[in-house]
Amino acid sequence: MAEHFFKFRGRFDFSPHPYEVGNPIFHNRKLEDNFFALKLYGLPEGEYKAFYDFHLSHYLARNPDGGEHFFRKVNRSIQRRIAFYSAKNPFKSVYEIHSANLDKLEAFQKFLDSIDEWNVNTSTEKMLSQKDAEIARLKSNLADLQTRFDEVLQYEASEKIVINSGNLAAFMDLMRQFQKLMLPYEKRLLSTQGFSLWYKMIAKNFVHGDKPIPLATAQNYFSSEDSSKYIFISDKDMAFDISG
């Protein structure tokens, strides 16, 4: 049984979908490529994708994994017609029609090339060139990342500052006081746009005894007092008072 790819209009259907192929009387499905091309010649370029997707959906309904097979079928049919019209005698009286059809086919071929995810129309030389370009791009990105990493390493310390075990709250109270210190002319000594810099700096550069300070724990010391996760510091842990 012959395999059919395109959706034909119903026999005696005089109000078909605009992308259906065939005519209301004659239904020779062996000529479906011809009917597909005839429909294509009358479509504006902006409808190529919708036209292709319409028939692809029809085909996939019966062949769920047939996306590549459908593409190859259409691509082969279009290329054959391009070759056919390209070989026509330009001095014949029908050349104007042939030339118009060829323009349509070549435009549709460009559309097919744009959706060719299987590299059907890509030569080995072009594929290798694309791979080389991608490798060069990745090498450039890697070099950039290495440069940025080296810059970051300049500010990495070989050890962390140890907060005496049991005194994390006292240390956090000092950090909160630092945030509020005012200069004589009513400006803050230290200022940031938010609190993330504070708790990330602490989690990264300090340890509590011999244990790391979880980022979430450090964050909770600097969250809003209205937050359920905010850690209040008791009076006994407010061991220091920084005065201006």
For the chain (length 244 residues), average pLDDT per consecutive 10? 83 88 84 94 96 97 95 96 87 83 95 93 70 80 89 88 95 92 88 89 95 95 89 92 77
Query: Pick from 95, 121, 147: which residue ends a domain?
Result: 121
Residue 146: inside a domain = yes
Residue 111: inside a domain = yes
φ, ψ for residue 216 (rounded to 5)? Answer: -65, -40
Instruction: For residues 38 and 42, give the distance between their C-alpha atoms in angstroms, rounded to a whole number.
Output: 7
Residue 166 sits in the same domain as residue 231? yes
Structure confidence at residue 155 (pLDDT): 84
Residue 209: inside a domain = yes
* C-alpha pair distances (Å), 99 with each of 20, 47, 76, 82, 85: 25, 20, 20, 10, 7
Residue 148 sits in the same domain as residue 108? no
Residue 141: inside a domain = yes
Structure confidence at residue 124 (pLDDT): 67
Structure confidence at residue 210 (pLDDT): 92
Residue 3: inside a domain = no
Residue 113: inside a domain = yes
* Pairing relationship of beta strands 206-208 and 161-163 according to DSSP bridges: parallel
Residue 177: inside a domain = yes
Structure confidence at residue 225 (pLDDT): 86
Residue 96 sits in the same domain as residue 65? yes
Structure confidence at residue 126 (pLDDT): 63
Residue 35 sits in the same domain as residue 107? yes
Residue 63: inside a domain = yes
The total domain count for the chain is 3
Query: Pick from 135, 156, 177: which residue ends a domain?
Result: 156
Residue 94 sits in the same domain as residue 113? yes
Residue 167 sits in the same domain as residue 232? yes
Q: Which domain holds residue 128?
A: 124-156
Query: Pick from 138, 156, 174: which residue ends a domain?
Result: 156
Residue 44 sits in the same domain as residue 81? yes
Residue 225 sits in the same domain as residue 190? yes
